[in-house]
Amino acid sequence: MAFPLPSPMRRALDLAREAGEAGEVPVGAVITRGDVVVAEARNAMRGSCDPTAHAEMVAIRAAGTALGTSRLDDCTIWVSLEPCAMCAAALSVARLQALRFAAEDPKGGGVVHGPRIFAQPTCHHRPEVIGGLGEEESSALLRSFFESRR
């Protein structure tokens, strides 16, 4: 029996779809504090000419501004794709309490694949991590996006 996705993950997937429609790699992110959405973003690297404008990075910046702090220790980030090493390191520095992601990223992931940032002894903060929420939908978005470019 399939369970409905939590609303922040549903929104992250919707943002990922919007990113894909705008020509960006389809990734979306939502940051919540309790049940309140603090920030949301989608990939914006091509449109902003900023290689660091991954959905997670844009959402972290917006959440810090909205909350007036660089520490997001009582917040959860919901992402449609496993964060890369850059984004995983930013999640740690921002002290996010939890990470929820949809699809794993065997090629570019930095949490359960690749450098596994949170497993490194130099990582000072490790959020609680749960993956696989909406994995099929996220994977289908990514497959479709990249197939249309081949």
Tell me: is residue 75 an annotated ligand-binding position: no
d(CA 143, CA 43): 16
* Residues involved in catalysis: 56
d(CA 91, CA 31): 11
Tell me: is residue 49 an annotated ligand-binding position: no
d(CA 145, CA 137): 12
Residue whose token pair is 């309790």: 34
Tell me: is residue 87 an annotated ligand-binding position: yes
Amino acid letter, 135 = E
Query: Which DSSP string do the residues of 6-74 spell out, in sequence order?
Result: PHHHHHHHHHHHHHHHTTS---EEEEEETTEEEEEEE--HHHHT-TT--HHHHHHHHHHHHHT-S--TT
Q: What does the DSSP 8-state code read for residue 82?
A: -
Residues tagged in the binding site annotation for Zn(2+) = 54, 84, 87
